[in-house]
Structures are given as structure tokens and as C-alpha cells.
């Protein structure tokens, strides 16, 4: 039959839901990014803390077990580290004590090295996500299909969020699972489950704004190396600007200069979620533990940090929606 006699025909293939049209973009982006040897090495490095933090969680799970026999070595270790008064409180109210101890450990684990690795992952995988599409005119392929601007942005953001989660949230959740599995009783799940909420929010609350910001930088240029350079400038000179402004007499007591630094803002937000001081205030921790907890607090306002990160995410998302289809507009 000649082609001109066929006419239009109804599509009879398998249709996918509109809600998951972003998934092929995310899946292909992760596959391409995973080809980078440097990225794979960073992910491997993010799991190295299991070699020493895994033992820490195992020991904490044993020494904070309220059913531990006083004659066992774990009981004596707990008395030496936390003090005998706290061990007595542990038997009276294990949920409050174990939640406070788990919070301190996760706050020390998730607010420093993990955020540094997440920034490196964003610098490796993020700048090329949209910049390469602009350079190769790949928008014509994307938007020739039933893919909206929203689907495209969500798909690209999903790539970076998934990769950054691999070096932040995933190791934390695996460490928590490890500590629960090696605990002597299943009561550990009930007594420490509230810790999972701030761990998840602290990770996602900083990953999402950072990922969207990197995508905006990628969307503003056709050369990925320029976006990478700007990202490093923001991560390096932001904290420097905050420190310099804090040295001036007029701005020393201002509570907004830390917002110029994305690392300081993320740290204030995360430590505000963990709220270590409030959890240990009514507990009889030893002096050494309290001195350790001082390093897990921030004088910056976590509320301001949360509002700033939220506004940054919204602004970046709107810029991306406007920018991604700019090459297709006449």
C-alpha cells in the first residue's frame, strides 16, 4: 500500500503514565554519570566510614542496651564514657537516652565529611547535565516527545539528587540499619526510630537546594567547565565572605551573614534539626560528652537557614523552568 494512502493511524503501543515521564531522563543521566571513574571512587570513599563508624555504632548499640548485665564489660564501658548517673537514667528511660546518643553520633557523621563529598559529586556530575544538552541541541529531541519542561527539570534534578544521596543519606541509613541489626534486642528500633527523621530531612534539605543551584549554573552556559568553576567559587568564597564580614565591627553581631555561605547555611540547618543541646540538656552526661556536643551546635539561626534554602530551591526551580526551553523559543 502506498504511504500516502495509509493516512493517520491511532498509536497502539504501550503508553506510560505522565507522572513517570521524567524517569527515563533520570535513568539515562545516572547511567552516563556512573561511567566516571572519579565519581565511582568518591562513592567508594563515602562508604569507608563503615570501617570505623560501624564499630562505633555496634559498641553504642551494646553499651546503651538497658538490659545489659552490670557485670559485663559493656556496662563498665558505658559508665566510663557517659558516667554512672546516665547509665542509671538509661535503665529508667532508655528511649530518651538512646535517642540523644544516636543523635549525637549521626550529627557528627552527617554534617561534615558527607557534605564535602556531596559537593564534589555535584561538581562532577551536575554541570554537564543541562550544558551538554544546550551545546548539542538535545532539547529538540526531548521536547519533540510528550515531555514537558517540568518533566525535564525533575528528570535532571533526579539524577543529581540520586547521586548525592548515595554519598550522604544512604550511608547514614545503612549505618543505622547496621546498628539495629547488631543490637541485642528489637527494642532498639522503637527507642531510636525518631532519629531517622532528622537524618533524612537534614540530608534531603541540603541536597535538593544544592542540586537545583548546580543545575541553574549548568543551564546558564554551554560549557560544563564554566559551571564547575562557578560552583567551586561559590563553595570556597562564600565561607570566606562570611568569615571576613564577621570580623567587621558593624556586622559582627548580625545573624544573616552566614547565608552568604552555602556550607554554613547547610550546617546550621542540619544542626538545628538534630538539636543536640536540647536532647542532652536534661540528661546526666559526663563533661567529656558535653564538650563533644558543643561542637555539634551552631550559633546561626536554623530557621533562617531553612527559609533561605527553601527560597533558594524555589527560585532555582523557576529559573530552570524558564531557561530549559529558551533555545526552542523564537
318-321: long-range contacts (C-beta < 8 A, 24 or more apart)? 319/216, 319/219, 320/130, 320/153, 320/157, 320/212, 320/215, 320/216, 320/219, 321/149, 321/150, 321/153
CA dist 294 and 57 (Å) reads 21
**Residue 11 included in any domain:** no
Contacts of 46 (CB under 8 A, 6+ apart): 114, 117, 166, 167, 168, 171
DSSP, res 295? T
| Higher per-residue pLDDT: 272 or 156 | 156
How far is the CA of 12 from the CAs of 9, 15, 64, 166, 203, in angstroms? 9, 8, 61, 39, 43
CA dist 166 and 36 (Å) reads 15
Q: What is the mean pLDDT of the chain?
A: 79
| Higher per-residue pLDDT: 301 or 57 | 301
CA dist 118 and 205 (Å) reads 13
Helix (H, G, I), strand (E, B) or coil at 297: coil
**Residue 12 included in any domain:** no
pLDDT band at 51 (very low <50, low <70, confident <90, very high): low
Q: How far is CA 126 from the centre of its chain?
A: 15
| Higher per-residue pLDDT: 160 or 54 | 160
CA neighbor of 276 nearest in space, from 291, 262, 265, 287: 291
pLDDT, tens only, 214-269 = 999 999 988 889 999 999 999 888 888 878 887 777 776 777 888 888 888 888 88
pLDDT given for residue 61 in this prediction: 64
CA dist 234 and 207 (Å) reads 15
**Residue 215 included in any domain:** yes
* pLDDT at residue 149 is higher than 90: no
**Residue 13 included in any domain:** no
The whole-number average pLDDT for the span 10-26 is 77
Helix (H, G, I), strand (E, B) or coil at 299: coil
Helix (H, G, I), strand (E, B) or coil at 182: coil
**Residue 10 included in any domain:** no
- The boundaries of the domain holding residue 198 are 19-328
**Residue 2 included in any domain:** no
CA neighbor of 73 nearest in space, from 63, 58, 83: 63
CA dist 320 and 19 (Å) reads 19
- C-alpha cell, 146: 510528550
Tally of domains within the chain: 1
CA dist 50 and 48 (Å) reads 5
pLDDT given for residue 192 in this prediction: 77
**Residue 295 included in any domain:** yes
pTM of the model: 0.83
**Residue 73 included in any domain:** yes
CA dist 196 and 205 (Å) reads 14
Amino acid at each position: 500500500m502506498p504511504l500516502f494512502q495509509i493516512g493517520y493511524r491511532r498509536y497502539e503501543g504501550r503508553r506510560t503514565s505522565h507522572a513517570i515521564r521524567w524517569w527515563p531522563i533520570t535513568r539515562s543521566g545516572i547511567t552516563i554519570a556512573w561511567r566516571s571513574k572519579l565519581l565511582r571512587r568518591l562513592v567508594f570513599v563515602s562508604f569507608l566510614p563503615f570501617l570505623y563508624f560501624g564499630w562505633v555504632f555496634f559498641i553504642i548499640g551494646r553499651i546503651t542496651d538497658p538490659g545489659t548485665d552490670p557485670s559485663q564489660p559493656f556496662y563498665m564501658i558505658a559508665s566510663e564514657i557517659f558516667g554512672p548517673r546516665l547509665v542509671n537514667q538509661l535503665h529508667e528511660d532508655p528511649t530518651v537516652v538512646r535517642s540523644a546518643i544516636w543523635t549525637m553520633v549521626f550529627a557528627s557523621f552527617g554534617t561534615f565529611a558527607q557534605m564535602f563529598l556531596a559537593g564534589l559529586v555535584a561538581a562532577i556530575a551536575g554541570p554537564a547535565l543541562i550544558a551538554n544538552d544546550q551545546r548539542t541541541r538535545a532539547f529538540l529531541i526531548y521536547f519533540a516527545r510528550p515531555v514537558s519542561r517540568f518533566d525535564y527539570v525533575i528528570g535532571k534534578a533526579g539524577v543529581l539528587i540520586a547521586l548525592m544521596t548515595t554519598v550522604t543519606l544512604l550511608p547514614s541509613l545503612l549505618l543505622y540499619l547496621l546498628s539495629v541489626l547488631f543490637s541485642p534486642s528489637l527494642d532498639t528500633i522503637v527507642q531510636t526510630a525518631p532519629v531517622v527523621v532528622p537524618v533524612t530531612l537534614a540530608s534531603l534539605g541540603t541536597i535538593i537546594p544544592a542540586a537545583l543551584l548546580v543545575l541553574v549554573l549548568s543551564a546558564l552556559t554551554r560549557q560544563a567547565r564554566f559551571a564547575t568553576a562557578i560552583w567551586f567559587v561559590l563553595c570556597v568564597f562564600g565561607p570566606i565572605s562570611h568569615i571576613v564580614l564577621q570580623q567587621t565591627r558593624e556586622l559582627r553581631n548580625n545573624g544573616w551573614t552566614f547565608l552568604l555561605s552555602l556550607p554554613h547555611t547547610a550546617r546550621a540547618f542540619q544542626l538545628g534539626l538534630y538539636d543536640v543541646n536540647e536532647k542532652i540538656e536534661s540528661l546526666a552526661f559526663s563533661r567529656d560528652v558535653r564538650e563533644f556536643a558543643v561542637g555539634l551546635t551552631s550559633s546561626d539561626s536554623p530557621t533562617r537557614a531553612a527559609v533561605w534554602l527553601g527560597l533558594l530551591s524555589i527560585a532555582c526551580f523557576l529559573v530552570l523552568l524558564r531557561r530549559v526551553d529558551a533555545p526552542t523559543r523564537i
